[in-house]
Amino acid sequence: MSDRKSKQIAVTVIKVGISAGLLWYLFQKANENSAFDTLSGRPKDWGLLTAGFLCALGAMCITKIRWCLLVRALDLDFAMRDAFKLGFIGYAFNFATVGVVGGDAIKSVYITRQQPERKTEAVASVVIDRLIGVYSLLIVGALACWYMGARSDSFVAANTEAFDKLQNLGKTAAIALLVGGVFGLIVMAIPGLTGQQMQTRLGALPKIGGILEKIVRAASLYRSKISVVLFSIVISFGTHVLFTLCAFFVA
């Protein structure tokens, strides 16, 4: 057996061992919690749990497809299977690190290794993908608040003032987000507002300059791909709806 083959086998064994160890640790921690015993002892509707699992899986698949479309829009050679592989690796690291940025960092590292000659474009796809996901989530949340405040049932009637405020908040936020989104697309389409000079100026700002520079640089790369950005926003709504249905079915 060659040294290379032995090394591959050793790496695989280590990976499997680490995965098994993490699963064992999680189950041990769960068994120490009394709430786990209570939950496991209750009757379960496996049909609804399966529906919740399928909704979550569908939502995650949409996010991987969205990222692949954004990468390919920059004329990068990127297979759909790689988008799913790196996407799920990044998703796993979301639970192993603080916040979702950890998963994005892992995705950025892996895709730049695949695209060493076009690292800027590769990282830009991750940045835009995250921005689209957050933006669509905020819109869905605002619309949900607007809808909750507009309901007419006994619970709402008993808390009219609170739900009126919720409705106004949701309405204002939804309109502001939609207007802001249109404005952002217009800015993206104007070369002078996302060019190198503007990126340099923003990068010189204290504290938030580095973040703004990355966002504007990513936006400039998608200047001629606005249709892909719009489509990505639309399918992102499906992601958040499916995750919401998942929570509903599991509950």
Q: Is-contact 128 194, C-beta < 8 A?
A: no
Over 70: is that where the pLDDT of 95 sits? no
Token pair, residue 94, equals: 């979301």
CB-based contacts of 243-246 (< 8 A; 24+ apart in sequence): 243/55, 243/56, 243/59, 244/140, 245/51, 245/52, 245/55, 246/52, 246/53, 246/55, 246/56, 246/59
Q: What is the pLDDT of residue 243?
A: 94
Query: What residue spans define the domains of the chain?
Result: 1-42, 46-250
Rounded CA separation 13/216 (Å): 43
Q: What is the pLDDT of residue 96?
A: 59
Q: Is-contact 229 185, C-beta < 8 A?
A: yes
Please indicate whether residue 155 or residue 56 has the higher confidence score (pLDDT): 56
* pLDDT tens digit sequence for 206-247: 878 887 888 888 888 888 889 999 999 999 999 999 999 999
Over 80: is that where the pLDDT of 165 sits? yes
Query: Which range has the worst mean pLDDT, 53-57, 66-70, 127-131, 175-179?
Result: 127-131
Rounded CA separation 183/193 (Å): 12
Q: What is the pLDDT of residue 1?
A: 54
Query: Which range has the worst mean pLDDT, 50-64, 85-99, 237-251?
Result: 85-99
Q: What is the pLDDT of residue 44?
A: 79
Please indicate whether residue 104 or residue 152 has the higher confidence score (pLDDT): 104
Q: What is the pLDDT of residue 139?
A: 94
Q: What is the pLDDT of residue 48?
A: 92
* pLDDT tens digit sequence for 60-87: 999 999 999 999 998 888 899 999 988 8
Q: What is the pLDDT of residue 127?
A: 87
CA-CA-CA-CA torsion for 172, 173, 179, 183, nearest 10 degrees?
A: 140
What 8-state DSSP symbol labels residue 42? S
* pLDDT tens digit sequence for 119-141: 888 888 888 999 999 999 999 99
Overall pTM surpassing 0.85 (yes/no): no
Q: What is the chain's mean pLDDT, rounded?
A: 83
Confidence of residue 152 (pLDDT cuts 50, 70, 90): low
Please indicate whether residue 55 or residue 208 has the higher confidence score (pLDDT): 55
Q: What is the pLDDT of residue 102?
A: 63
Top-ranked range on mean pLDDT: pick from 23-27, 48-52, 158-162: 48-52
Token pair, residue 59, equals: 């939502």
Please indicate whether residue 39 or residue 121 has the higher confidence score (pLDDT): 121
Report the percent of the chain where pLDDT is more than 70. 86
